[in-house]
A = this chain, B = another copy of it.
């Protein structure tokens, strides 16, 4: 009866999980539809199917939440996706803006055996090329203590530990600006009236200042090495 999940179902569950990975509001139908690129009505039907299979909790007109089973499946898929991205970069010379779409397909085609042998070969990495943590085979993940760059006060220093992989264009731009994983950042100031953030990138002679537009500021997560946790978290 467990009828191993179709690739559509795998994607639904993965998107539901990802939505709550960096913030805790559960996802709504239309947000799910937008992320999956399907019509709202398609989501309604599929959510019913997910519920029948015990993967989500949902009541009509309410948000969608994963059950324990659903989360288990989601973590399996997230592990696959991130290990595959890591493989593509480390072993096949892909750049970090090219890996997402390829992994999005491959994640549905590989077996558990494949995934574990790949993890072995890669030396059991704990994060993917964008800094996203890779869950263990048993579904354990640690949520890195990092904050969006946009939420930090001037004076804050740290390192970039995660970069959203939503937009390949942005990833290419950041690579050109030498903004990559583990780069040091120092928040210099925020220009007034909602203007861009000014940060100092890197250290020593390679350092340079950079105006960070809001769209980028919310896509870069920073782990502070100076642990004076006086940062405002101003999300409504």
Contact = CB atoms under 8 A, between A and B. Distances in A.
A106 B117 contact: no
A87 to B, nearest CB: 10
A121 B121 CA distance: 15
Contacts of A236: none
Contacts of A117: 92-94
Interface of A: 88, 91-94, 98, 102, 105-106, 108-111, 113-114, 117-118, 121
Contacts of A98: 113
A105 B113 CA distance: 13
12 contacts: A88-B114, A92-B114, A92-B118, A94-B117, A98-B113, A102-B111, A102-B114, A106-B106, A106-B109, A106-B110, A108-B109, A109-B109
Contacts of A94: 117
Nearest to A94: B117
Nearest to A101: B111
**How many protomers of this protein does the assembly include?**
2
A92 B121 contact: yes
Majority-rule SS of A interface residues: helix
A187 B217 CA distance: 73
Nearest to A7: B109
Contacts of A111: 102, 105
A86 to B, nearest CB: 14
Given A93-B117, A105-B109, A106-B110, 9 more contacts: A91-B91, A91-B121, A92-B118, A92-B121, A94-B117, A102-B111, A102-B113, A105-B110, A108-B109
A180 to B, nearest CB: 21
Nearest to A88: B114
A98 B114 CA distance: 11
A162 to B, nearest CB: 25
Nearest to A105: B109
* Top-4 shortest CB links A-B: A109-B109, A92-B117, A105-B109, A106-B109
A172 to B, nearest CB: 16
Nearest to A92: B117
Nearest to A107: B109
Contacts of A105: 109-111
A91 B102 CA distance: 19
